Amino acid sequence: MDATIFTDIFGYYTAILPMLLILVGALVMPAVYMFTRKKMAVTIASLAFLIASAVVNIIMLHYIDSLGDYIYFGSEDAPYCGIFMYTSFAGLLILLFQVVAFFAILVSGVSSEVTKLHFGAYGALMLIATAGMMFVVSSTDLIGIFVGVEAVSISSYALVTLKRRDPRAAEAGVKYVIIGGLSTALTIYGISMIYGALGTIDLAVIGAKTHDPDFTYSWAFIIGIVTMMAGYGFKIAAAPFHMWAPDVYEGAATPVSLFLATGSKKMGLAVFFKIFLFMFVGVTAVKVEPVQYLFAIVAAVSMTVGNVVAIAQNNIKRMLAYSSIAQAGYILIAMAVMTPYALTGGLFHMFTHVFMKGGAFLIVGALICAGVGEKISDYNGLAKRNPLLAFAMMIFLFSLAGVPPLAGFTSKFVLFSGAIYNDGVMSQWIWLAFIAILNSAISLYYYVRVIKAMYIERPAKGADQKLAIGKVFGFAIAVCAIAVVVLGVYPDIILDPCATAANDLLHWWM
Amino acid sequence: MNQLIPIEYFLTFGAILFVIGAYGVMAKPNTLIVLMCTELMLNAANINFIAFSAFMGDAYGQVMVIMTISVAAAEVAVGIAILLNAYKVRKSTNADDLTSMRW
């Protein structure tokens, strides 16, 4: 089946068809809740819209990959009006966001942390945030990227605070909305400066202007780049812009933490790939090197801060939050190296991170629903209470640390080798790969601390009976665990599409 | 053309607004004032857009301003609801009191 059936029916709207389906779902979700008053009904309806959108997306992705063409959004008079364009980069990341939203919505339906009150709004906000992420990756214009990012941010402020009676959630919401507002302001100021310096907000025209040999950096352009980098740095929680992330992930309900840590962070990284790689890949080395060093320093600081501070954490959600900060640092290596191979590694690591970090958060959420606390000491003796669950947690944590043959090892291998080796010669970014490998070793310490608690420590008195988790949680965790193992031993299924997407994004200027 | 106000004046005005907003975000303890300061920073960007748009004769800047205003409105609506909720649950919206989670 090919996508011509969609283009026949939807015409120029085909490029945004996956998002439109999800937005329709978001609009009907409050009505579904009003008529049924059941969490399950809303969950099933949201998942139905999500799966429909995923099927459409996979068909479209297959179609443009076999054709080597793009699907444009426009009208009869202007077939390319320059706002949305469905490329294989966009299609691949849309698939990633759909996977994230699938896990988050699936477990929200059964998690006791998400209240039944306002569940219609909860489902709608989740779908709107997903659609916003999808608009961001398919947008070719700074307006589209900005508005998409805001759609995600504003709905996630509400999602974090929906656990209303909990004082920690209320505090996390206030912190998130203030830091988010600051990051929005920085971003839009940066965009205004770039608009002034280059006279346009279309990414293709911006790229053409920065690749002009006569182009020199004006002060407005430099201010624009730096403030925009800071603004979107808050969104991906890279150090030194990371302070909100542990508080928000700890205060929010665990399905929402999962959604933010795996989805919203990937959206920020996709924005970096789109804007900055478009501007700087293939520009002469003298001009591009300062930007590369800026990203390299942010990456190095981010992984070091994330891993070192994670050692001191006792709350497992905070520990996973700091580990996410470190993972964002690893992925930023792709921004410093700026080659298609490194970008392939970055995209692949984004995919494996969804399954390993998502799986770890799913286990934390399942255990909270089963009455186990959030402290690492609460996990004492888990291997005796539920051996399968402890084994799955061990797989996810080892994968996050990068132990072969799991997915985390394979993706880190591709990512770091891109920094070491470039076109048959030793790359200048070998020191960055060295810091990253050192950091992987540090990270093993705090991951193994949890494994030690599960396998070696004795359970606390009165908490040594068998532990059962819900079937839905079990299903989601099993899917993640299988994905982590399969992507580790047979990475080609995701690595090849990642390479296609990376070449597709960068071929304009290579 | 030379009887127009030069663009530097607009940009300086925008930069001053931005810095005042950034100072307020970092220094003020009351979170409601902090939220208002982020609005100030957004309006600084709007002034830049309008100035660039007028001086370049390009309409995209004005489109961007409309987008920014609508985004800012949505953000304030959600933000104030969150502050009200925090006040209900914790009896304070002071940034110095919202410190149950650190490090």
Quote ipTM for the complex. Answer: 0.95
Residue A248 sits at the chain B interface (C-beta within 8 Å): no
Q: How far is CA A267 from CA A130, A319, A369, B43, in A?
A: 10, 22, 29, 25
| A307 Cβ contact partners less than 8 Å away, ≥ 6 residues apart | A322, A323, A326, A439, A442, A443, A446
Does residue A66 carry a pLDDT above 90? no
- The total domain count for chain A is 1
A173 pLDDT higher than 90: yes
Burial A164-185 (b: 16+ CB within 10 A, else e): bebebbbbbbbbbbbbbbbbbb
Task: Return the pLDDT at A79.
Answer: 56
pLDDT at residue A31 tops 80: yes
A322 vs A81, more confident: A322
* Percent of chain A topping pLDDT 70: 98
Residues in chain B closer than 8 A to A185 (CB atoms): 18, 21, 38, 41-42, 44-45
- The one-letter amino acid at A80: Y
Q: How far, in Å, CA of A389 to CA of A369, rounded?
A: 14
Convert the pLDDT of each residue in A310-325 to its tens digit.
Answer: 999 999 999 999 999 9
* Contact (Cβ atoms closer than 8 angstroms) between residue A2 and residue A71: no
Residue predicted with more confidence, A77 or A24: A24
Which has the closest alpha carbon to A322: B26, B98, B101?
A: B101
Residue ranges for chain B with pLDDT beneath 70 = 1-3, 103
Q: What is the pLDDT of residue B103?
A: 61
Per-residue pLDDT at A116 exceeds 70:
yes
pTM: 0.95
**A104-129 average pLDDT score:** 92
What would the two tokens of residue A155 be?
């709905």
Q: What is the pLDDT confidence band of residue A464, given thresholds at 50, 70 and 90?
A: confident
Average pLDDT (A53-69) is 88
Tell me which residue range forms the domain holding A436: 4-507
Of A176-180, A280-284, B81-85, the range with the lowest mean pLDDT is A280-284
Helix (H) or strand (E) holding A85: strand A85-86
| Whole-number pLDDT of residue A27 | 95
Would an 8 Å CB–CB cutoff place A417 in contact with chain B? no
pLDDT band for position A81 (50/70/90)?
A: low
The residue with greater pLDDT, A9 or A341, is A341
Higher pLDDT, A174 or A74: A174
pLDDT at A163: 86
State residue A475's pLDDT score: 96
Q: Do the Cβ atoms of A170 and B85 come closer than 8 Å?
A: yes
CB-nearest partner of B86 from A174, A192, A247: A174
pLDDT digit string, tens, across residues A241-266: 999 999 999 999 999 999 999 999 99
User: What integer is the mean pLDDT of A499-504?
Assistant: 90
Mean pLDDT over each residue of chain A, to the nearest integer: 91
Q: How confident is residue A309, by pLDDT bands cut at 50, 70 and 90?
A: very high
Q: For the ranges A191-200, A423-432, B19-28, which has the lowest average pLDDT?
A: A423-432
Q: How far is A323 from chain B (nearest CA, A)?
A: 13
Reply yes or no on whether the pLDDT at A357 is more than 60: yes
Question: How close B62 gets to chain A, by Cα (Å)?
Answer: 11
User: Which pLDDT score is estimated for A445?
Assistant: 94
Residues of chain A found within 8 Å of residue B89, distances taken between Cβ atoms: 164-167, 170
The pLDDT score that the predictor gives to residue A76 is 61
